[in-house]
Amino acid sequence: MSDFHFSRPKLPRQVLTVLFAGFVLFGVGATGLTLSVANGKADAIADMRHTIARAEARTAPAQPSGETSEHFYKGTTPQLAQAALQTDLQTLAEAHDIAVEVMRADEIEQMDGMVRLNLTMTAVVPEAELGGFLQSVSGREPILVVEDLSLRRARASRSGSDRRVAMTMKLYGLLPR
């Protein structure tokens, strides 16, 4: 018989256990990496679909003549649409603590396929609210176009120490014919 004896009889079992554990860890890591790449690609595809949907919405064809876009005022007559414009501007002014002195509906003009609803507003604006108000007007739906804006320092009020600006603004909205 053989005289050979293992000096460390548990060594082959330990080597096999370490190799098995290594293969398991490698498999888990490879699976995790594959899932991570797949999720990243799915997120990229979702982002592309969102970008495509936004681009399609911006380049959508004009609506049929029976329907109106949210970019324009609506009304059965130009006078009613101009009244809606005045109401919208008054609401916007109140939201920014603006004291409207005069709001005048100017002449309604016929343009190429549109009706121009002119309006002039004279108001006193707290200096801190001026930027926010102008930003609200520029981001408004239906669209408001500021044609002329005149600013000057308002007389100091006795009751408050905050600075105020006198503003005269000529603007218009559009109504499809």
Dihedral class, residue 113 (left if φ above 0, else alpha if ψ from -120 to 50, else beta): left
Closest CA to 140 of 152, 129, 149, 132: 132
Residue 13 lies in a domain: no
User: What's the whole-number average pLDDT of the chain?
Assistant: 83
Q: How confident is the model at residue 161 (pLDDT cuts 50, 70, 90)?
A: low
Q: How many domains does the chain have?
A: 1
Percentages helix, strand, coil for the chain (3-state, rounded to 5) are: 45, 25, 30
CATH number of 128's domain: 3.30.70.60
Q: How confident is the model at residue 158 (pLDDT cuts 50, 70, 90)?
A: low
Residue 172 lies in a domain: yes
Encoding tokens for residue 62?
Answer: 């004009």
In the predicted model, what is the mean pLDDT of residues 1-12? 68
Give pLDDT, residue 103. Answer: 94
Give pLDDT, residue 65. Answer: 47
Residue 166 lies in a domain: yes
Instruction: List pLDDT tens digits, range 63-100.
Output: 444 444 688 888 888 999 999 999 999 999 999 889 99
Residue 150 lies in a domain: yes
Residue 45 lies in a domain: no
Give pLDDT, residue 15. Answer: 82
Instruction: List pLDDT tens digits, range 136-145.
Output: 888 888 888 9
Give pLDDT, residue 59. Answer: 61
- What is the SS3 assignment for 78? helix
Residue 104 lies in a domain: yes
Give pLDDT, residue 1. Answer: 56
Find the domain containing 116 and state its range: 78-176
Residue 143 lies in a domain: yes
Residue 33, pLDDT above cutoff 50: yes
